[in-house]
């Protein structure tokens, strides 16, 4: 079956512009996660969606970052007024269910964001 | 707070020799532990996990890991390394409490290089 897909694979933008990153999770997975991977920072948790529950936004670095998940499936991560420090690879993952914590997460290939 | 330490940025091993990639963790309660591998320009792939039960966990591609509660460690091992095992390896932990969400905390990664 299809894995987690993300688009675009690469995004180059100018400082101050808004960007939208998309994630299509594995069908049937109720939990969806966004992480950021950057040099020197490792993998950082950004946000977690579980079913219809309120998302865990505790990892979002600033109010310029937001995410939504429509219909319990596709998710969009939006970064407003991008800054150079936002340059990173943004990874999306999904899992069968989030509440037990036992299920492994399946990762997409990532979106490499470069802010000039 | 939960945390993971991967003390080695890089591990070099000759093909055919055993390999170990080290991981130690810190959580308040019982840990759920995961190993992921990342090949260049790819997302993370799940290797194995420890939730409960037998301390020796076997995973994909011949990898295994041993949970040691007293040493708070979860080292990744393989009896005979292959050049194709060369990649970036991440250890991750989640505190095993219900209702606590499913946020994974990752280590900084260990680059494994297997040489002929």
Q: Is residue A94 within 8 Å of residue B102, measured between CB atoms?
A: no
Q: What pLDDT score does A32 carry?
A: 93
Mean pLDDT of chain A: 91
- Angle, alpha carbons B61-B36-A8 (nearest 5°): 115
B71 bridge partner residues: none
Q: For testing the chain A interface, which of B4, B44, B47, B51 should be mutated: the one with the most A CBs within 10 Å?
A: B44
- The structure tokens 């037990």 sit at A100
Determine which helix (DSSP H) or strand (DSSP E) holds B93, and give its type and residue range.
strand B87-95
What secondary structure letter does DSSP report for A56?
B
Chain B contact set for A105 (CB, 8 A) = 46, 102, 104
Question: What are the two backbone dihedrals, phi and then psi, of residue A71, each rounded to the nearest 5 degrees?
Answer: 60, 20
- Summarised one tens digit per residue, pLDDT across range B20-53 is 999 999 988 888 999 999 998 788 999 999 998 8
- Summarised one tens digit per residue, pLDDT across range B79-93 is 999 999 999 999 999
How many other CB atoms are there within 10 angstroms of residue A60's CB atom? 19
- The structure tokens 């150079």 sit at A84
> Alpha-carbon distance B109 to B88, whole Å?
6
Question: Is the pLDDT at B102 greater than 80, yes or no?
Answer: no
Determine which helix (DSSP H) or strand (DSSP E) holds B29, and give its type and residue range.
none
Contact A50 B44 (CB under 8 A): no
Stretch A40-61: mean pLDDT, rounded?
A: 87
**pLDDT category of residue B96 using cuts at 50, 70 and 90:** low
> Alpha-carbon distance B52 to B60, whole Å?
18
Of residues B36, B90, B102, nearest to A101 (C-beta):
B102
Q: Is the peptide bond before A94 cis (omega within 30 degrees of 0)?
A: no
**pLDDT category of residue A83 using cuts at 50, 70 and 90:** very high
Question: Is the pLDDT at B99 greater than 50, yes or no?
Answer: no
Q: What pLDDT score does A114 carry?
A: 97
Cβ of A49 under 8 Å from any chain B Cβ? no
Chain A contact set for B49 (CB, 8 A) = 102, 104
- Summarised one tens digit per residue, pLDDT across range A8-44 is 999 999 999 999 999 999 998 989 999 999 876 678 9
If one compares A81 and A39, the residue with the highest pLDDT of the two is: A81
């Amino acid at each position: 079956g299809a894995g987690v897909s993300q688009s675009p694979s690469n995004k180059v933008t100018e400082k101050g512009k808004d960007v939208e990153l998309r994630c299509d999770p594995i069908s049937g997975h109720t939990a969806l996660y966004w992480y950021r991977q950057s040099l020197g920072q490792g993998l950082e948790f950004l946000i977690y969606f579980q079913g219809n529950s309120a998302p865990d936004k505790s990892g979002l670095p600033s109010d310029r970052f937001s995410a939504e998940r429509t219909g319990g499936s596709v998710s969009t991560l939006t970064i407003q007024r991008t800054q150079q420090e936002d340059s990173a690879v943004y990874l999306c993952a999904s899992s069968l269910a989030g509440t037990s914590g036992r299920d492994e997460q399946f990762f997409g290939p990532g979106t490499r964001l470069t802010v000039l | 707070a939960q945390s993971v330490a991967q003390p080695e940025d890089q591990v070099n091993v000759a093909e055919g020799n055993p390999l170990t990639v080290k991981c130690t963790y810190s959580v308040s309660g019982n840990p759920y532990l995961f190993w992921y591998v990342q090949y260049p320009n790819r997302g993370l792939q799940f290797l194995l996990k420890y939730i409960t039960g037998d301390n020796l966990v076997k995973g994909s591609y011949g990898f295994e890991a041993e949970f040691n509660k007293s040493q708070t460690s979860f080292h990744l091992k393989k009896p005979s390394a292959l050049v194709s095992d060369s990649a970036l390896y991440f250890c991750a932990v989640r505190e095993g409490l219900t209702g606590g969400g499913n946020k994974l905390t990752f280590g900084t990664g260990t680059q494994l290089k297997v040489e002929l």
